[in-house]
Amino acid sequence: MMRFRFAAAAALSLALTGAAAAQPAAVTIKVWNFGFGPAPIHLAAGRPVTLTFVNQSGSGHDFTAERFFSTATVTAGSAPDGEIELAPHETKTITLVPRAGTYHAHCSHFFHKQMGMTDEIVVD
């Protein structure tokens, strides 16, 4: 009887671990006037991840990374023309499977990139 309970507990543990592993990782990218964080953004190649973009400022911004978004497999959300556009204080999410590489990101609004609103995405 004791072996049966141990086997049942082990099977349940494996089932729960498998379900948790299937869930996408989550990364929050904060956006503020002339900055992104974290910098750089580190992601795992070939593993699903949900990116949540949080605009903490009272101004509109975007997160433009055309090559990153075009090489990833997007499973939920969208990045039209390789960008996530954010209104003041807006939050948006996108779930994707990134491809290995190093990608550059920036805000394409007038003069924001020149003011330091850039980031790098490192996918290993």
pLDDT digits (tens, 9 = 90+) for 106-118: 999 999 999 999 9
β-pair type (101-106, 91-97): unpaired
> In Å, how far from its chain's centre is CA 58?
22
Sheet (strand 73-76) strand order:
35-37, 25-32, 49-55, 91-97, 73-76
Mean pLDDT estimate for the chain: 88
Which residues share a beta bridge with 26?
50
At residue 23, the pLDDT reads 76
Q: What is the DSSP letter of 81?
A: G
CATH superfamily of 23-123: Cupredoxins -  blue copper proteins (2.60.40.420)
The tokens describing 65, both together, are 């990374």
Please indicate, yes or no, whether the overall pTM of this predicted structure exceeds 0.85.
Answer: no
